[in-house]
Amino acid sequence: MRDSRLSDLKKRVAREAAILLYTSQEKEYKQAKNRAAQTLGARVLPSNLEVAEELDKIAEEREGRSRQERLLQMRREALRVMELLRRFHPKLIGSVWRGTAYKNSDIDIVTFSSAPKAVLAELQKSNFKIAKSGWLSVTKRGRKEASFHIHLILQSGDEVEVVVRSPERIELKERCETYGDLVTGLSYPRLQRVLEENPLQKFAPM
């Protein structure tokens, strides 16, 4: 009985955290979970995967068919950006790769170059609207990593974040903090194939 109550409470915390993320009241899973637990007076925290499952359900409930249309549009937009950046080995990652994008999602593309300004110049040459660009450092497993971030705003209003990483990291596979699997993403040819064969395919272990 106690286990059942704990499970129900954890699910409620997961749902509350997912609502906070969906409505952009929180941007990070950790903060969303802590705030949700505090709101509900709970001491149990769900996993990131449990929150992601609830977030997916909420997006489906609230957006319906328009969510699929949006995903298709964003994958096509990603393909156009990646086509311009093909020499930088682009990969589509994030929610548009996963197939879990919702109304506030952006398009995440990672590229690899020892000259980040060359990636920026390629986008500027194609008249993309650059909202901002610059270096960002994060600490992962006690090690500081720096990458160059370029934020674009497309004519549709969709936002794209292009991350430029060192070429030495091209073969590295990182574990996803949300789903726990490896972030493989979609290369340009693979994204082309997905759009031709199964444009709404999901790549999330849910």
User: What tens-digit pLDDT sequence spans the chain (206 residues)?
Assistant: 456 777 899 999 999 999 999 999 999 999 999 999 999 999 999 999 999 999 999 999 999 999 999 999 999 999 999 999 999 999 999 999 999 999 989 999 999 999 999 999 999 999 899 999 999 988 776 778 889 999 999 999 999 999 999 999 998 888 999 999 999 999 999 999 999 999 999 998 86
> pLDDT by residue (tens digit) across 102-158?
998 999 999 999 999 999 999 999 989 999 999 998 877 677 888 999 999 999 999
Structure token digits, residue 124 = 């500027």
Among candidate residues 49, 55, 51, 59, the one with its CA nearest the CA of residue 34: 51
3-state secondary structure of 24: coil
Among candidate residues 52, 16, 55, 57, the one with its CA nearest the CA of residue 33: 16
Among candidate residues 194, 177, 165, the one with its CA nearest the CA of residue 71: 194
Question: Which residues, at least 6 apart from 69, have a Cβ–Cβ distance to it below 8 Å?
Answer: none
Q: Are 21 and 51 in contact (CB under 8 A)?
A: yes
Cα three-residue angle 199-29-166, rounded to 5 degrees: 65
Please state, as a whole number, how many other Cβ atoms lie within 10 Å of the Cβ of residue 69.
12
**What is 65-197's CATH number, 1.10.3720.10, 3.40.720.10, 3.40.50.970, 3.30.460.10?**
3.30.460.10
**Does an H or E element contain 138, and which?**
strand 129-140
Percentage of the chain lying above the pLDDT 70 cut: 98
Please state, as a whole number, how many other Cβ atoms lie within 10 Å of the Cβ of residue 134.
9
Domain ranges of the chain: 2-63, 65-197
Q: What single-letter DSSP state applies at residue 175? A: B
Structure token digits, residue 152 = 């674009």
In the chain, how many H helices and how many E strands?
A: 7, 6
Q: What is the pLDDT of residue 1?
A: 47
Q: Are 152 and 162 in contact (CB under 8 A)?
A: yes
Residue whose tokens read 């006690």: 142
